[in-house]
Structure 1
């Protein structure tokens, strides 16, 4: 719990933002809660809500949400070596509780793994995901209930971004992580004009490739320096 606590601040802020957005669209408490419980993806919800409000066709809503959530395909591929020994049903559950926060925390604490995760490490991942799920539901309800009372001038979205930055800064101590953040940020800024938030997916891919390249490069330099 203590390990993921800083990330819960950012997650809670995003949950409030999503709740406020759902309230302004007019979904109501129960529909909003059902959406958060079943979808459990803040970026997907925030992408779908304006389209729902505009009366967009269902195929467009699903297409936009699919593109935004494609990063979880990448996350799943990265996590597959650790959880491949589990049954498909259990892996589906692990995929459901996977979040940006739990993925980042798990990889930061277990990047030394070279094979299947131990039972304790799997429970660590599940526990992080369940805690994130509970925080998301709670903060979403708060956002829905306070939606009409929060003026737009408060810029709750900006507070959520600040919380996310505060979460990422301590993780940038390692050079590969710092390079990944810089590259992803630049690509995200560069691809802003692209529709359906495709730039988000490209930024994730670019950040992962840059971080992986830097990690491999550093390991090779260490090996060369260690040679007689």
Structure 2
């Protein structure tokens, strides 16, 4: 971006791509694992790739794959995936004021591309001055597109690799390991740890519940415990104490 001429569409788009690039180190392996697991679960290759384009959510797709393999009814699959994606409502509420002046096509595009990693990149530009705000939505677009394209390619690569992997290999073992690797670095506060421990215990206790409803019970239990502990740990400055 030229400091004298101000921001441009192209400059902002590439700035968004660069902001998201470091996060791809974690996204690409995750996409590969999803593609391998989806094929290993018996999902057609075209459907596994279509899910990455339509659902476009790593955690949701991993859980959906597990439920697919278990023969879970569609209604329960949809409900579980919707619960996992509830956090996107908070992301949308945070980003919405920055998009209020844009036409619907832009709002729809940014909403589609809004993921955990893209949200982290987008929030860096929410406090921009009026000059920077002019093409800020191009920054959002660049960040979201960088993640989207990488996710599609890594999923395709995983599907192609997964087609060569014998079905009897215990690929589903990598699913909990992947989630552990994603979640553990984010456990920075006591309420986070309590929520994770509660959800883990409930998931084990409810393992044999039909249709994988134990996952829903574990999620609700973890959220409830985390919310109950959060207010009690807020200090005078309104910030939660770390563990």
Answer yes or no: same fold by TM over 0.5.
Answer: yes
User: How far is 1:47 from its partner?
Assistant: 1.2
Is 1:67–1:196's contact at 8 Å kept on the other side of the alignment?
no
Q: TM-score, normalised by structure 1?
A: 0.72
- Pick one of 139, 143, 168 that aligns with 1:128: 143
Q: Deviations over 1:114-154 (max 9, x none)?
A: 99x82332111111111101110111111111124386589
Aligned-partner Cα distance in 1 for 2:66–2:172: 20
Q: Deviations over 1:61-114 (max 9, x none)?
A: 11111111111011111111211222334222211001110101222x235359
Aligned-partner Cα distance in 1 for 2:218–2:125: 28
Aligned-partner Cα distance in 2 for 1:158–1:83: 36
Local SS of the residue matching 1:2: helix
User: How far is 1:54 from its partner?
Assistant: 2.2
- 2:44 — aligned with what? 28
Is 2:67–2:77's contact at 8 Å kept on the other side of the alignment?
yes
Q: Deviations over 1:18-72 (max 9, x none)?
A: 1011111222322211111111111111111122222221111111111111110
Aligned-partner Cα distance in 1 for 2:235–2:19: 26
List runs of 5+ in structure 1 lacking aligned partners.
173-177, 219-228
Q: TM-score, normalised by structure 2?
A: 0.68
Local SS of the residue matching 2:137: helix
Aligned in 2, Cα 1:120/1:27: closer, same or farther, shift over 3 Å? Answer: same
Does residue 102 of structure 1 match 2:118? Answer: yes
Query: May I ask how many residue pairs the two structures share in their alignment?
Result: 204
Aligned in 2, Cα 1:183/1:26: closer, same or farther, shift over 3 Å? Answer: same
- 1:74 — aligned with what? 90
Does residue 143 of structure 1 match 2:151? Answer: no
Aligned-partner Cα distance in 2 for 1:62–1:153: 23
Aligned in 2, Cα 1:203/1:85: closer, same or farther, shift over 3 Å? Answer: farther
- Pick one of 60, 64, 68 that aligns with 1:44: 60
Bigger share in helix: 1
List runs of 5+ in structure 2 lacking aligned partners.
1-16, 204-213
The RMSD of aligned alpha carbons is 3.7
Aligned in 2, Cα 1:165/1:69: closer, same or farther, shift over 3 Å? Answer: closer
